[in-house]
Amino acid sequence: MLDRKGAFVLGFEGMSCENWANDYQADMCGDGAVGDFVGSVVCRQQKPLDPSTEGIVYGWIGPQRNRDEHPKCGNFDMGHLSSFDGEGGPAACGFARVGMYTPA
């Protein structure tokens, strides 16, 4: 699932996008050798204030953190778009890490 640089892209539908980071936080923990997963969750929201049930997660291995100082695993920013693709190309790719390749 991970590429050689420790990055992944995950698409999903039929579940709460806004809760994705909280629902899967425990699965984003690193260990003594590898940092937590971090990244962005992009939710497609057709109408303002409507809950989103589809999203894209861009994730990668982050820096190691002291678990006593940072008890929560992972750190995912949240973004909302009305469409993943726009007239100017794939708008969701703007939430990926610099250097990640997202095909048009």
Question: Tens of pLDDT along 24-69?
Answer: 877 888 876 778 888 889 898 888 778 888 999 988 888 877 777 7
Q: Taken in order 5, 43, 11, 70, is the CA torsion positive or negative?
A: positive
Asked if pLDDT for residue 19 goes beyond 80, the answer is yes
Q: State the pTM of this model.
A: 0.77
Assess contact for 78 and 29: CB atoms under 8 A: no
> pLDDT higher for 85 or 56?
56
Q: Where are the domains of the chain?
A: 7-95
3 state DSSP class of 36: coil
